[in-house]
């Protein structure tokens, strides 16, 4: 996101040499399923045929996953390891902080 709280969606295709090539950038105010479906429909119109799209690599956003399942049923969804690790670390860090806070509250002084 940027200062305006807009999310950037970037779609890349992999060429014959295994390099990712950006083909679409889209800014959206909210990450709703309908917005992501619209972006993927634009991608389909630009590329004329996306039926051979084999996989999507993305973060853990449920709206994105649901949109891809709707628009590209045959494609595999792969979660980005960076985003998964970051989400896991945030969850573990939050849990430790909460547990520490609860333990401090339970100790009578």
Residue 61 burial by CB count (10 A; 0-12/13-18/19+): exposed, middle or buried? middle
- One pLDDT digit (tens) per residue for the chain, 109 residues: 577 888 888 888 887 888 888 888 999 888 899 999 999 998 888 888 888 888 888 887 888 999 999 999 888 888 888 888 888 787 776 555 555 554 444 444 3
Question: What is the pTM for the complete model shown?
Answer: 0.69
Domain locations in the chain as residue ranges: 7-83
Residue 109 and residue 104: Cα distance in Å, rounded?
Answer: 10
Question: How do strand 55-58 and strand 20-28 relate by DSSP bridges?
Answer: unpaired
Residue 4 burial by CB count (10 A; 0-12/13-18/19+): exposed, middle or buried? exposed
Per-residue model confidence (pLDDT) at position 29: 84
């Amino acid at each position: 996101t940027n200062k305006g709280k807009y999310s950037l969606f970037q779609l890349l295709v992999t060429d014959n040499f295994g390099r990712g090539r950006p083909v679409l950038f889209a800014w959206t105010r909210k990450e709703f399923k309908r917005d992501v479906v619209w972006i993927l429909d634009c991608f389909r119109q630009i590329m004329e045929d996306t039926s051979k799209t084999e996989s999507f690599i993305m973060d853990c956003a449920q709206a994105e996953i649901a949109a891809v399942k709707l628009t590209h049923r045959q494609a595999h969804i792969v979660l980005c390891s960076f985003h998964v690790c970051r989400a896991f670390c945030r969850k573990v860090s939050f849990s430790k902080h909460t547990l520490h806070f609860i333990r401090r509250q339970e100790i009578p002084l």
